[in-house]
Amino acid sequence: MTDLKNIKAFAFDVDGVFTDGSVLAMDNGDLLRIFNAKDSFSVRTARVNGFPVAIITGGCSESIISRFNSLGIPSEDIYQMSKNKLPDLQHFCKRHGLELKDVVFAGDDVPDVETLKAAGLGICPKDACVECQEAADVVSDFCGGKRFVRDIVERTLRAQGKWKFDPDQPWGFSYRDEVNAAQFKSGRHV
């Protein structure tokens, strides 16, 4: 298991990791998910501090892309419809010049088991399936969607002295619609 001080990147499943696993099934086939703002802040902070972050999910929706783009994750690091997650994590590592031992992988269900074993630090939420709990290096005290992501990202950045927030530091990417809406409401530039 890789020490948090030596972690260079993060890779996350989505459902059951960023969420509690719930989806709201719409008539048009869309699936709506609820994300936790504290998780999101930690991912943005990791990106601002130069950590590559991969999203590796069996799901597929425009909202997954737009949500993670807004957290500073480029589309090429978002792997949707991933049936076999380990080759996708290896692909991500290769593109960023990383080894598997450099990466935290977080997953909660059976398709994540092999990747949990292969990553430098495999972590699952407290409510992950039994197979994940057996395969992971660490079983979190937090459940999926309930600050599980925040906990592992914050611990890692703190271990490296990178858990900092400078209000003057640009995020380095656009909030797009979020910013436009805020400007419209507040009348000031964000």
In the complex, the residues that contact Mg ion under the rule CB under 5 A are: 13, 15-16, 108-109
Return the number of the residue (77 or 109) whose C-beta is nearest Mg ion. 109
Return the number of the residue (77 or 108) whose C-beta is nearest Mg ion. 108
Residue 169 CB, nearest approach to Mg ion (Å): 32
Residue 71 CB, nearest approach to Mg ion (Å): 18
Return the number of the residue (70 or 115) whose C-beta is nearest Mg ion. 115
Residue nearest to Mg ion (CB): 16
Q: Are 69 and 75 in contact (CB under 8 A)?
A: yes
Residue written as token pair 């090429």 = 76
Residue 19 CB, nearest approach to Mg ion (Å): 8
Residue 90 CB, nearest approach to Mg ion (Å): 19
Return the number of the residue (44 or 85) whose C-beta is nearest Mg ion. 85
Q: Are 112 and 132 in contact (CB under 8 A)?
A: yes
